[in-house]
Structure 1
């Protein structure tokens, strides 16, 4: 045994077999020599009754003094109950964020979420998260990594925030699955960007224009009766697009749409007389359970966005999305005094806070009514000068 110094290690000749030279000053610090001439610094320690060794670096890449300092740090970690060798192996075995995402979709989302959520999460991971963070190991991703990702996407705040949201869910599960230490989720202190909520409602003039265009395009054969009825049902019921697009005859009663499953679970949607009358004009196709049919096949009408683009262009409503028809239904309800609690049930909102986004519309109605009352009183009272 001798003190391991750079000069001493340089002087050691390669033997016929692999060997270890131990330092005579720092117990557990050694040098492993190979017949090829390669020399590697190591540290040996005992934890829970088991002897382990950890490589500190190759001679020539690190000096003897640097390796000695590294050995002391390892021994300090061991004294605190840590196992540096096991932690390194765990890091090497750690999946990447991309691999965690695949497991997250397969073992969590597909089992506990709606198919639409699975679709959205898969696209979010593929198009937003993985290109930036996909290659980083789950055990090594840090707050700085997440922060840089969020900052890079600042021009698309909705995507940036949803990316952090799905990462938060994934990394919480990574802790549950033993892939990260508990309570180390680095997404927790990321401040979300403000999002400008898209609210677009059709006023009465726009509603009339849309009705005229739907009728014209139906009469001229540019849209089928099924498409015509589908858009009217969206306006008359406040349903989500998927709820009408995938509506089956078994769900239709005289007064309600009885949906066994929706975005918020089972729903019982009031079916006004006008909406029921439109449904009654539709022909059924033998062997096809759906109400809104395509031109052929056994399924439902697949792409409602395609005819909608033509309809809104003809009506001069290029900025209106299909989902804005649901917003229009809600706005008409609120402006006509429908109670928010009742509207929540009609629209199938999970939380009242979602329904209360439309509350400002009732304020407008109240303001208008107050103005009419004041005008009438002022006319009766005469000049106030």
Structure 2
């Protein structure tokens, strides 16, 4: 017997009691029409859409719009609120697929989870590019000294690979494969990128961009083994660097690199230094922002005072070195010396090694370098004052000058490399 579809019509505003139902099948759904189009009867109420309710799942229905578009919907109550959710288009989902989705959603509702809230929260999830920008501006710049490296890695590796993907769509397999791909050429860089990913996802959960139940896909990715780099310059190499420094035209880069070798400081800490932190009269230099998180004061030797006094003052800035980097100058030095495998940080390691070789105790060297391990063995270092540190740096500076001396004699007998 043919079904009289018009008798089962329900409008958007119709109460549950007034709903009439029919057993939805594919053939029935294909015949469903908006009532005004179906009968041409002007007495049929005109609603934004009309709804045909199912007999099998009572909260399930097909909604038909005046345009002829049809979609599956679910009507439910969750935590005292009446909700209506679109499941999908009838032209995309089969009736069986729609019913299966509805059954899964109804289980969530019984557990107190509102499917519409979940969907709305998912729509708020940012893409990797969007959150990367937030991460750098709101987190990395404030809390990570390495934020510039973070930004470089995000723009070089992460955004080109995953930029348009939503944060919650990334899975551990994606991160693991990405880690392996970078690791083919640079295992250490791969480890750093994966650790950055792990931190980003953690922050996203803290800020509410991802649910607290979200499983961090970067957590548990096995890192590549890393070997500690133990490159220490020989005296012959230091002499060659001294010659190249004399020939370097950038006075700020030249002096910053020379000071790094004299003091054993990180080059980044030297480049961030301001004149207000230098006391040439008392011969001290305060470094308020160090990797260890603690300010560090170093005594200045006669040689390092001379280097600082030789620097041209730039009245437009408070910084001692009005340059962002010594990278180009260092590349020129490496090329001139033929020491292509050395890094700027090797100067710090070499300064420490030279002091130890000259009989200066490890305790004093650690004090000079402001190693973070100092906090672990504070009892050992507590008695170390400025005098032995000054003696150590004075001895080391004279050694550097003596090594640079042959080079300066050949180029005019300069006493200091500046």
Pairing partner for 1:264 from 279, 289, 292: 292
**2:75 counterpart of 1:44:** yes
- Asked if structure 2 preserves the Cα contact closer than 8 Å seen for 1:133 and 1:149, the reply is no
- Asked if structure 1 preserves the Cα contact closer than 8 Å seen for 2:269 and 2:289, the reply is no
**2:111 counterpart of 1:92:** no
1:67 alignment counterpart: 98
**2:243 counterpart of 1:223:** no
TM-superposed deviation, 1:130: 0.9
**2:6 counterpart of 1:6:** no
> Deviation digits for residues 20-54 of structure 1, max 9, x if unmatched?
11111212011111122222111211101112122
> Deviation digits for residues 313-339 of structure 1, max 9, x if unmatched?
333322222221112112223444544
Task: State the Cα RMSD in Å.
Answer: 2.8
Ranges in structure 2 where 5+ consecutive residues have no aligned partner: 1-20, 37-46, 378-418
Query: What TM-score, normalized to structure 1?
Result: 0.79
TM-superposed deviation, 1:13: 3.0
**What secondary structure sits across from 1:71 in the alignment?**
helix
Distance in 2 between the 1:111 and 1:130 partners?
A: 21
- Asked if structure 1 preserves the Cα contact closer than 8 Å seen for 2:25 and 2:95, the reply is yes
**What secondary structure sits across from 1:20 in the alignment?**
strand
1:366 alignment counterpart: none
Distance in 2 between the 1:224 and 1:134 partners?
A: 39
Q: Aligned pairs, how many?
A: 341
> Deviation digits for residues 339-377 of structure 1, max 9, x if unmatched?
44433331123246999xxxxxxxxxxxxxxxxxxxxxx
2:193 alignment counterpart: 163
TM-superposed deviation, 1:229: 4.0
> Deviation digits for residues 269-289 of structure 1, max 9, x if unmatched?
232343334444x16537367
Distance in 1 between the 2:283 and 2:350 partners?
A: 22
List aligned pairs for 1:357-372, cutoff 5 A: none
Q: 1:31 to 1:225 in 2, by over 3 A?
A: closer
> Deviation digits for residues 217-243 of structure 1, max 9, x if unmatched?
3xxxx5366555433322111012233
Pairing partner for 2:156 from 121, 127, 130: 127
**What secondary structure sits across from 1:44 in the alignment?**
strand
- Asked if structure 2 preserves the Cα contact closer than 8 Å seen for 1:246 and 1:300, the reply is no
Q: 1:212 to 1:42 in 2, by over 3 A?
A: closer
Distance in 2 between the 1:61 and 1:283 partners?
A: 72
**2:330 counterpart of 1:308:** yes
List aligned pairs for 1:140-219, cutoff 5 A: 140-155=169-184, 156-183=186-213, 184-215=215-246, 217=247
Greater CA drift, 124-133 or 195-204: 195-204
- Asked if structure 2 preserves the Cα contact closer than 8 Å seen for 1:237 and 1:270, the reply is no
**2:83 counterpart of 1:83:** no
Q: 1:346 to 1:57 in 2, by over 3 A?
A: same
Distance in 2 between the 1:95 and 1:228 partners?
A: 45
- Asked if structure 2 preserves the Cα contact closer than 8 Å seen for 1:153 and 1:160, the reply is yes
Distance in 1 between the 2:92 and 2:284 partners?
A: 76
TM-superposed deviation, 1:111: 2.6
Distance in 2 between the 1:224 and 1:169 partners?
A: 38
Distance in 2 between the 1:7 and 1:225 partners?
A: 84
Ranges in structure 1 where 5+ consecutive residues have no aligned partner: 293-298, 356-385
Distance in 2 between the 1:302 and 1:67 partners?
A: 59
Q: 1:247 to 1:180 in 2, by over 3 A?
A: closer
- Asked if structure 2 preserves the Cα contact closer than 8 Å seen for 1:284 and 1:291, the reply is no
Greater CA drift, 59-68 or 100-109: 59-68
Pairing partner for 1:285 from 291, 313, 335: 313
TM-superposed deviation, 1:94: 1.2
> Deviation digits for residues 254-302 of structure 1, max 9, x if unmatched?
443112333334211232343334444x16537367786xxxxxx6355
**What secondary structure sits across from 1:139 in the alignment?**
helix
Pairing partner for 1:321 from 338, 343, 364: 343
